Amino acid sequence: MTPHDGITNFIAYLRLSPYSPKTVHAYADQLKPFAAWLVEQRIDDLRTVTRAHIGSYQAHVRQEPIQRETQALRLRAVKRLYQYLITDGRLLLDPTEGVKEISRRRALPRPILGPREMKRLLAAPDTTTPLGIRDRALLEVFYATGVRVGELEKVQVQDVDRTLQTMHIRFAKGGTPRVVPLGHHAVQWLSTYLDQVRPKMVKARPFERALFVVRGGRPLGQAQTRTLLHRYCQVAHLRKTVTPHILRHSCATHLLRAGANLRAIQELLGHSRLVSTTIYTRVAPMEVKAMHQRYHPGNAEHAAD
């Protein structure tokens, strides 16, 4: 089985799995250097790769002038490739088994928006106009839910329950749907948008079900959303770069500072592992320390020896 055939089959499998196109592209991109390395080593069959070969490739990757995160992704892609080949019955032994992945240093998020900055951003759209109402609703939903921009793009009108003040994320990253709370302000602006603005915007496309749309009724895309955020960042006179992910980090950090449980934040953000959520304890270390001092039994004034 040639590297080209094995990698092609693996990528085809990923495309049929609940992975985002971005993730599939990342795996394909990170496997190209491995295929090139195999050519240099004159290895033309994935079944002849040994653990020693994998160790050599890992050493090769470590020496490349690329970020540690990229190094980790390159080896992870190779491990996932061989896991697929084993599961698919194309191999009996996995040469990557037991090979320790390169540790990925979890980078801190970019500077988040403080509560006052967040209020300025939310107030930036001109809500005397239809598009301003839509954009205010969009910002409120981002801040209330911490939703990923790719997830929100796929949310449909029927996924919003205004009575329960919740939103169903059906096409979530990782393939696990979740229901997130919206809160009063987000529901208030969503209601105004859904009742007064959206019906006019989808007049030419009455069949469109996407929650947020542009003039003419087509879904609001990720690139357009990022452009809107950049513009409102300027309107609000914010010196920080504002992206959908910054709003996600801001939502989580503000919840943590208010005393929210990390497990609850994990559920809200849709993290499969708590370790992904604990990065916010590094964003707000003083708040976490204060909460620990206040609530942990070991910090009681007269704790037992």
Superfamily of domain 115-245+267-272: Intergrase catalytic core (1.10.443.10)
Task: Please indicate whether residue 245 is annotated as part of the active site.
Answer: yes
Residue 89, token pair as written in the block:
């019955």
pLDDT digits (tens, 9 = 90+) for 88-115: 888 888 888 877 766 555 555 567 888 9
CA 86 – CA 49 distance, rounded (Å):
13
Coil vs helix vs strand at 236: coil
- Catalytic residue, from 148, 198, 249, 254: name it: 148
CA 186 – CA 198 distance, rounded (Å):
16
Q: How confident is the model at residue 118 (pLDDT cuts 50, 70, 90)?
A: very high
Q: Which residue has the higher pLDDT, 127 or 146?
A: 127
Domain spans, the chain: 3-87, 115-245+267-272
pLDDT digits (tens, 9 = 90+) for 8-24: 999 999 888 777 788 88
Instruction: Tell me what pLDDT residue 101 has.
Output: 66
- One fold for 3-87 and 115-245+267-272: no
Query: What is the separation, in whole angstroms, between the first and last Cα of the chain?
Result: 64
CA 196 – CA 99 distance, rounded (Å):
58
Task: Please indicate whether residue 25 is annotated as part of the active site.
Answer: no
pLDDT digits (tens, 9 = 90+) for 22-41: 888 889 999 999 999 999 99
pLDDT, the chain, mean: 84
CA Rg, the chain, in Å?
23
Residue 79, token pair as written in the block:
């491990």
Burial class (CB in 10 A: 0-12, 13-18, 19+), 34: buried
pLDDT digits (tens, 9 = 90+) for 268-280: 887 766 666 666 6
Which stretches of the chain are assigned E, i.e. beta strand?
Answer: 160-161, 166-169, 178-181
For the segment(s) 3-87, the CATH number from 3.40.50.970, 1.10.150.130, 3.20.20.140, 1.10.357.140 is: 1.10.150.130
Q: Please spell the DSSP secondary structure of 82-138, one letter per residue.
A: HHHHHHTTS-SS-TTTTPPPPP---PPPPPPPPHHHHHHHHT-S-TTSHHHHHHHHH
- Catalytic residue, from 173, 198, 249, 254: name it: 173
Contact criterion met (CB below 8 Å) for 141 and 186:
yes
CA 248 – CA 240 distance, rounded (Å):
15
CA 69 – CA 289 distance, rounded (Å):
29
- Catalytic residue, from 57, 82, 232, 280: name it: 280
Instruction: Tell me what pLDDT residue 42 has.
Output: 92
- Catalytic residue, from 198, 248, 249, 254: name it: 248
Q: How confident is the model at residue 295 (pLDDT cuts 50, 70, 90)?
A: low
Task: Please indicate whether residue 254 is annotated as part of the active site.
Answer: no
Residue 196 has pLDDT above 80, yes or no: yes
Give percent of the chain above pLDDT 70.
85
- Catalytic residue, from 51, 104, 231, 245: name it: 245
Give percent of the chain above pLDDT 90.
41
Task: Please indicate whether residue 173 is annotated as part of the active site.
Answer: yes
- Catalytic residue, from 136, 198, 249, 271: name it: 271
Give the torsion sign (CA, 76, 82, 83, 85): positive
Residue 159 has pLDDT above 60, yes or no: yes
Residue 195 has pLDDT above 70, yes or no: yes
Coil vs helix vs strand at 211: coil
